[in-house]
Amino acid sequence: TEVKVFAPATVANVVCGFDVLGFAVNEPGDEVVMRVTGTPGITISKITGDDGRLPLDPAKNTVSVSVQHYLNSIGRADIGLDIELHKKMPIGSGLGSSSASTVAGLYAIKTLLGDDRDVINLLPFAMKGEEMACGHGHADNVAPALLGGFVLIRSYEPLDVVRLPHPAGLYCAIVFPDVDVPTREARQIIRTKILMRDAVTQWGNIAGLVSGLFMQDIDLIGRSMQDVLVEPVRSMLIPDFYKMREIAMENGAVSFGISGSGPSVFAFTKDEATATLITQKLQQHLTGIKIGSNTYVSTI
Ligand code: HSE
């Protein structure tokens, strides 16, 4: 028996919700093909689309490691599995690349074993994969990759994940400037102490964003998407970040910010044509400063 599973890219933080908010997009994403073998243990027979950057060693790959944690938890470490990973999205892009692979792998094993519990049970294992990928087991990529749509991590201990609604007709324009920003490093530069004044601004914005999602108020969503804590530091790692924001806003974006830990940036728009226009304008700008890019347009 063999299964093939796709899991989507995700935009974590959603500007003001560092480590607590994320949403899934339609594309890009990753695909895992998993089959049961006769020999106990996990092998990874093939990885495509990674330019040789990901380990085939099952002890070092986030997909096999998280699947192994899952198997241990249900007492099935005896099973033999072979994994093929087909990366269909850039690595280190800030689009939840490791999450997409991990979630596809966990969903594949859940399906192969006929485990019919709610997918939310896979979340702690997916977080183990994140911990391995960047040194911290945050859930704001893996939870939306697993559940789809918009997700809030209300609490990590204990884990409390809330699915949020979102207005129909909200589009997302994504641009990945081809520069390297490892999440591990992008986490290390964040300030660990913040001012009360900034905290007040930030939680006002998070509450405004979540209210806007419930009220289907795209303008409230837009004006709430400001980050005074993380973006001022991380924006330095992204070429022409503030210029790109200006271009996006001038061309009709509702909001603009860093996707996850960057370097990808994203904008919300009220229609697909505006999202497409923004990706084109940003790509043109990046080409002008000799930086290659990939772009994506998605509903949420
Ligand atoms: N919340 C995480 C971070 C997401 O910003 O570091 C990483 O994609």
Q: State the complex-level ipTM.
A: 0.98
Residue 190's pLDDT band (boundaries 50, 70, 90)?
A: very high
DSSP string covering 117-184? S-GGGGHHHHHHHHHHHHSS---TTHHHHHH-SEEEEEETTTTEEEEE---TT-EEEEEEES----HH
Q: Is the CB of 173 under 6 A from ligand 1?
A: no
Among 261, 264, 265, the mutation site with the greatest number of ligand 1 atoms within 8 A of its Cβ is 261
pLDDT band at 134 (very low <50, low <70, confident <90, very high): confident
User: Which tens digit of pLDDT belongs to each residue from 197-232?
Assistant: 999 999 999 999 999 999 999 999 999 999 999 999
**Position 182 confidence tier, pLDDT thresholds 50, 70, 90:** confident
CB 227 near ligand 1, within 6 Å: no
pTM: 0.96
Q: How confident is the model at residue 28 (pLDDT cuts 50, 70, 90)?
A: very high
- Supply the residues annotated as catalytic: 130, 183
pLDDT band at 175; cut points 50, 70, 90: very high
Task: Write out pLDDT tens, residues 90-107.
Answer: 999 999 999 999 999 999
CA of 96 from ligand 1 middle (Å) equals 8
Closest protein CA for atom 1 of ligand 1: 19
Cα separation, 142 vs 140, in Å, equals 6
Checking if the pLDDT of 135 tops 90, the result is no
Q: How far is the CA of 262 from the centre of ligand 1 (A)?
A: 8
pLDDT over 90 (residue 181): no
Q: Mean per-residue pLDDT for 240-269?
A: 98
Per-residue pLDDT averaged across 6-26, rounded? 98
**What is the per-residue DSSP string for 238-277?**
STTHHHHHHHHHHTT-SEEEE-TTSS-EEEEESSHHHHHH
Known binder of ligand: residue 93? yes
Q: For 114-142, what is the mean pLDDT? A: 93
Give pLDDT, residue 102.
97
Whether residue 234 has pLDDT greater than 90:
yes
Pocket flag, ligand 1, residue 94 (CB < 6 Å) = yes
- The verdict on whether residue 232 carries a ligand-binding annotation is no
Q: What pLDDT is attached to residue 163? A: 98
**Is 98 marked within a binding site?**
yes
